[in-house]
Amino acid sequence: MIATGIYNAGLQLYKGGVHLAAMAGKTKAQRWLKGREHWQSRMQQAGVGAQPVVWIHAASLGEFEQGRPVLEAIRAAWPSYKILLTFFSPSGYEVRKDYKGADFVYYLPLDTKNNAREFLDIVQPALAIFIKYEFWYHYLTALHTRHIPTLLVSGIFRKDQVFFKGYGGMFRRLLQQLTHIFVQNDMSLQLLQSIGLHNSSISGDTRFDRVFALLSEQTAIPAIASFAAGNSLLVAGSTWPEDEKMLNEWWKEKEATGIKLVIAPHEIHNSHIAAIIQLFPEAIKYSEWQPGATANVMIIDNIGMLTTLYRYATIAYVGGGLAKGGIHNILEPAVYSKPVLIGPEFEKYFEAVELVAAGGAVVVKHSRDLQAAVELWLRDKGAYAKTAAIAGDYVVANTGATQKVLRYIQENRFLSKE
């Protein structure tokens, strides 16, 4: 089959590119390769498949957080099943490889026919769940052939995707092979129905359930409270160089006093941290903070604390919206009822579109916009409270997707209570 041949060739080219990057010293590529070495023997020695397994796969850290409510709900409802969690990207695996909510955490082996066969021979999952947009041809085909129930959770579809193109037949067949597709919104459902797919329903986005759960987590970052020291705090999360440049322009020209800045960059490698320090020479790194230190700008030089960090914000800026890649998760600050600032590249994210339309988030294109929004919210407590309440209420109103997925699993008896 020509399409399959092209797909397989593309995967091998990708693997070759990773090898070249690893040889060039790229840490992420090295981890991608190292983490997949001897995966068969490591999984067998760990006892994967010795007891009934639910397999949950996420591309990276963001998709893991999205699927986490489903994972944890399954663990609570069916405690006799082991949870296998796999990642494609090091940015997910390296952060969550010690996650206690799963019994086994591994990289997903490259999607080849042999790997898929060997993987399923070892795991023998009772149920497989893919989060948002992972469509691996050989894995999904093997799951379908073996009649293993397979769900896509929090799917999101756009008309420019390959499924809806004339040449996308191979990928349309993958969607047909899924037992059920839970989509985030009506547009996605209509697109699937337009190509004759009816194994789908609207559940909403499980990210709302995940971020809502943050409110009840008893987590704290004393160093951030100490750093803020009673001042207002703008927390800029998941920033890219474009964001940091604009923040620097605002910081140099800002009129507001009594406000401090925390920057949590998306990438924390040494060269990026050094570039931020060049923009903010007075900044202190989180790892170097000591009580009593004097600084108005802090740079977060670790991964994994952003969801808690937003708790301390007066105003949140979510990065990514000044580049074509698009914004990161705006729900994480919104759940804490924080006004949210984002860049203009957000149209692909329905939650951002809705939150901007509702008035819980404001789009900033340059430092002047940023300054205007910050000045307004610090000066006008009524305007601040209104925007903050809209943001928090939006998250609460959209919870419940996890229970819809759980109900489907229960009704179809994919998992046994015994």
Model confidence pLDDT, tens digit, residues 50-101:
999 999 999 998 899 999 999 999 999 999 999 999 999 998 999 899 999 9
Percent of the residues in the chain that have a pLDDT greater than 70, as a whole number: 99
- pLDDT 10s digits, 316-325: 999 999 987 7
**Same fold? 35-204+400-411, 217-397:** yes
Span 333-343, pLDDT tens digits: 999 999 999 99
Domain ranges in the chain are 1-31, 35-204+400-411, 217-397
Tokens of 205: 């986005």
pLDDT-wise least confident of 289-293, 294-298, 306-310 = 289-293
Give the per-residue pLDDT at 324: 77
Burial class (CB in 10 A: 0-12, 13-18, 19+), 209: buried
Over residues 30-45, the pLDDT tens digits come to 999 999 999 999 999 9
C-alpha to C-alpha distance for 264 and 273, rounded to whole angstroms: 10
- For residue 99, the SS3 value is coil
* Token pair 């698009």 in the structure block, residue: 326
Looking at domain 217-397, which of 3.40.30.10, 2.60.40.10, 3.40.50.720, 3.40.50.2000 is its CATH number?
Answer: 3.40.50.2000
The SS3 of residue 56 is: strand
For residue range 350-403, list pLDDT tens digits in order: 899 999 999 999 999 999 999 999 999 999 999 999 999 999 999 999 999 999
How many whole angstroms separate alpha carbon 395 and alpha carbon 294?
A: 36
Residue 379: alpha-carbon gap to chain centroid:
34
Strand, coil or helix: 271: helix
Dist. CA 52–CA 212, nearest whole Å: 30
pLDDT value for 418: 60
Domain 35-204+400-411 has CATH 3.40.50.11720: yes
**Using DSSP, how many helices (H) and how many strands (E) does the chain show?**
19, 14
**pLDDT class of 303 with cuts at 50, 70, 90:** confident
